[in-house]
């Protein structure tokens, strides 16, 4: 019987042992799923704290319950010797970028070096990390050859990209179709048996590189479309059009359109990083990768665009960014996760810090934020501030970066003098106007605001200083009574002894 058949038999009989290297967002769910499908699973990680946490039956990954880790019975190791007992070893280590946006394959190289003394005939090695086409061939195949193993005969090389979507219960291994590629037909057969034992939806691929390219294409597709919608957002701001209305309307077309939402820039370990793996490979091949580069440029520019919008809105109120109190809402790169890797919030934080704004943040899932070395002017460790009316009222502006579940956006709107909304959280509010003095057809637009929003969206600057944060009410009759005079100035019924105006009109919530 061939080695492949022996291994497939062990997989089908659930006597195969599975090893997973890299117990992070991608690797831990994979390890748990194999354990839950009846396999003995060993995890490997160089992070000793992670190893200890897992061995104590707790989860080091947000969104994965301790009970699930405890029930799975997997063991975690910092030492790779037990890898020898594993019939299949799945590698889920990071694939980051270097300072010039070049692939850093060091973790993959290191993993294979750690595994080298423990490789033996009959094993399958699968790379799951996202990487450039050719990586499995460049790294895994030579590692097997150096161990004296013949690929497809006594060892099996696979590439099967992780497609985990953290925070999304539908985006987990077992629910998302899994691409499987093998270095040889026997490798593919082993791979189909291996992954088929843990997930019902498999997509066999003809080559390792085709699977590697597919994973990159999926992520480039997102990066390009997000870049496009971010560009449309900037155009719509210049036109004073609500971009979300445009997207909502476009998606009523039942074919040829797929909605993407604009935001403050790209974040996470995948979308800001992976496209550059493809661009790097394309450069090596002498082939253009213009879309990748352009999307990267547009998306990378978003944090400074947001800061520009904020600065303009403050300017219009006579407030300088330098020294302004700015509260950032949501530091994680997307809602529902505590992950701040590559989060645009960090770049926005840095840019504001550079301008000497006084920045604080609130994120219910990120209680502490270790300042990077690029951040100056701040305490080395920042803490999420409790979101209270007093905190909000003390800010010159609040910037919505990531709408984390649990943030009370009604409270924010009620107490913040200025809200800069990068995600369309307040898109149903009357936020279609640019910041700045009223101009053009503003009276008509103001008159079309829902009456209950009037007090909430207007701020006025007047004799009591440019940043007077009080909110007046419109004259009786509400917006229908046209509170603006011919010069676009706002007449308010103001409380107490404040002069009645006129004041320039501003919106308290602006999109950015």
Q: Does the protein bind ligand NAD through residue 87 (CB under 6 A)?
A: no
The least distance separating ligand NAD from the CB of residue 384, rounded to whole angstroms, comes to 21
| Bond prior to 502 in cis (omega within 30° of 0) | yes
Between 59 and 95, CB nearer to ligand NAD: 95
CA distance 344 to 299: 9
Spell out the residues 6+ positions from residue 33 whose beta carbon is closer than 8 angstroms to its own: 172, 173, 174, 198, 199
Single residue of 3, 18, 35, 45 touching ligand NAD by CB under 6 A: 45
The least distance separating ligand NAD from the CB of residue 492, rounded to whole angstroms, comes to 49
Note whether 183 and 143 are within 8 A (CB): no
Single residue of 18, 23, 223, 313 touching ligand NAD by CB under 6 A: 23
**Subset of 147-186 contacting ligand NAD (CB under 6 A):** 162-164, 166
Q: What count of other Cβ atoms lies within 10 Å of the Cβ of residue 218? A: 16
The least distance separating ligand NAD from the CB of residue 142, rounded to whole angstroms, comes to 17
CA distance 73 to 97: 34
The least distance separating ligand NAD from the CB of residue 378, rounded to whole angstroms, comes to 25
CA distance 447 to 449: 5
- Residue 280 token pair: 């790097």
CA distance 125 to 184: 13
- Residue 499 token pair: 């002069």
Looking at beta carbons, which residue is closest to ligand NAD? 24
Note whether 451 and 479 are within 8 A (CB): yes
Q: 356 φ, ψ to 5°?
A: 65, 30
Q: Which stretch binds ligand NAD (CB under 6 A): 82-90, 106-114, 239-247, 327-335?
A: 106-114
Q: Does the protein bind ligand NAD through residue 505 (CB under 6 A)?
A: no
Between 135 and 511, CB nearer to ligand NAD: 135
Single residue of 2, 12, 15, 110 touching ligand NAD by CB under 6 A: 110
Cα separation values, 427 from 229, 244, 437, Å: 16, 7, 21
Cα separation values, 22 from 112, 125, 162, 371, 499, Å: 12, 14, 12, 25, 65
Q: Active site includes 86?
A: no
Q: Does the protein bind ligand NAD through residue 278 (CB under 6 A)?
A: no
Single residue of 32, 35, 92, 512 touching ligand NAD by CB under 6 A: 92
- Residue 314 token pair: 């403050």
- Residue 493 token pair: 């019924």
Binding mask 382-421 for ligand NAD (x = CB under 6 A): ----------------------------------------
The least distance separating ligand NAD from the CB of residue 46, rounded to whole angstroms, comes to 4
Single residue of 19, 94, 191, 424 touching ligand NAD by CB under 6 A: 94
**DSSP 8-state secondary structure symbol assigned to residue 151:** B
CA distance 198 to 502: 69
Q: Which stretch binds ligand NAD (CB under 6 A): 91-99, 287-295, 390-398, 447-455?
A: 91-99
Q: Does the protein bind ligand NAD through residue 93 (CB under 6 A)?
A: yes
Q: Which of 86, 92, 187, 270 is catalytic?
A: 270
Note whether 24 and 30 are within 8 A (CB): no
The least distance separating ligand NAD from the CB of residue 202, rounded to whole angstroms, comes to 17
The least distance separating ligand NAD from the CB of residue 171, rounded to whole angstroms, comes to 8
Q: Which stretch binds ligand NAD (CB under 6 A): 43-51, 117-125, 397-405, 504-512?
A: 43-51
Single residue of 59, 95, 135, 404 touching ligand NAD by CB under 6 A: 95
- Residue 263 token pair: 């935001």
Active site residues: 270
Binding residues for ligand NAD (CB under 6 A): 21-27, 44-47, 50, 92-95, 107, 110-111, 129-130, 162-164, 166, 269-270
């Amino acid at each position: 019987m061939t080695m492949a058949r022996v291994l497939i038999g062990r997989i089908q009989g659930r006597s195969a042992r599975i090893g997973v290297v890299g117990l992070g967002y991608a690797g831990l769910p994979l390890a748990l799923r194999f354990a839950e499908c009846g396999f003995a699973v060993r995890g490997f990680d160089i992070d000793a704290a992670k190893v200890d946490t897992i061995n104590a039956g707790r989860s080091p990954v947000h969104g994965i319950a301790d009970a699930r880790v405890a029930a799975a019975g997997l063991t975690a190791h910092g030492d790779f010797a037990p890898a020898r007992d594993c019939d299949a070893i799945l590698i889920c280590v990071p694939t980051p970028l270097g300072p010039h946006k070049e692939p850093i394959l060091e973790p993959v190289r290191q993993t294979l070096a750690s595994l080298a003394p423990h490789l033996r005939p009959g094993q399958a090695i699968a790379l799951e990390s996202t990487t450039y086409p050719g990586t499995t061939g460049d790294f895994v195949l030579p590692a097997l050859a150096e161990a004296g193993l013949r690929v497809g005969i006594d060892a099996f090389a696979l590439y099967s990209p992780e497609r985990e979507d953290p925070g999304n219960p539908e985006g987990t291994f077992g629910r998302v179709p899994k691409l499987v590629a093998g270095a040889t037909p026997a490798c593919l057969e082993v791979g189909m048996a291996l992954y088929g034992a843990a997930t019902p939806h498999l997509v066999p691929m003809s080559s390792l590189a085709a699977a590697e390219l597919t994973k990159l294409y999926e992520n480039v597709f997102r990066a390009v479309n997000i870049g496009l919608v971010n560009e449309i957002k900037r155009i719509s701001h210049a036109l004073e059009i609500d971009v979300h209305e445009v997207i909502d309307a476009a998606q009523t077309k039942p074919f040829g359109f797929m909605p993407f939402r604009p935001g403050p820039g790209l974040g996470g370990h995948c979308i800001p990083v992976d496209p550059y793996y493809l661009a790097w490979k394309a450069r090596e091949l002498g082939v253009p990768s213009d879309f990748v580069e352009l999307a990267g440029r547009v998306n990378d520019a978003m944090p400074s665009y947001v800061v520009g919008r904020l600065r303009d809105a403050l300017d219009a109120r006579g407030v300088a960014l330098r020294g302004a109190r700015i509260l950032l809402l949501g530091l994680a790169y997307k809602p529902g996760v505590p992950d701040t890797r590559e989060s645009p919030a960090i770049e926005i934080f840095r840019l504001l810090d550079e301008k000497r704004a006084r920045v604080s943040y609130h994120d219910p899932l990120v209680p502490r934020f270790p300042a990077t070395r690029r951040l100056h002017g701040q305490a080395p460790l920042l803490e999420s501030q409790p979101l209270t009316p007093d905190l909000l009222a003390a800010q010159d502006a609040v910037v919505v970066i990531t709408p984390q579940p649990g943030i009370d956006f009604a409270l924010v709107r009620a107490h913040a003098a200025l809200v800069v909304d990068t995600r369309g959280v307040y898109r149903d509010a009357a936020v279609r106007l640019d910041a700045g003095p009223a101009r053009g057809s503003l009276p008509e637009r103001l008159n079309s605001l829902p009456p209950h929003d009037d007090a909430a969206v207007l701020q006025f600057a007047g004799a009591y200083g440019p940043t007077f944060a009080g909110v007046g009410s419109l004259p009786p009759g509400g917006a229908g009574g046209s509170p603006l005079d011919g010069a676009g100035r706002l007449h308010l019924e103001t409380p107490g002894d404040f002069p009645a105006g006129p004041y320039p009109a501003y919106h308290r919530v602006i999109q950015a």
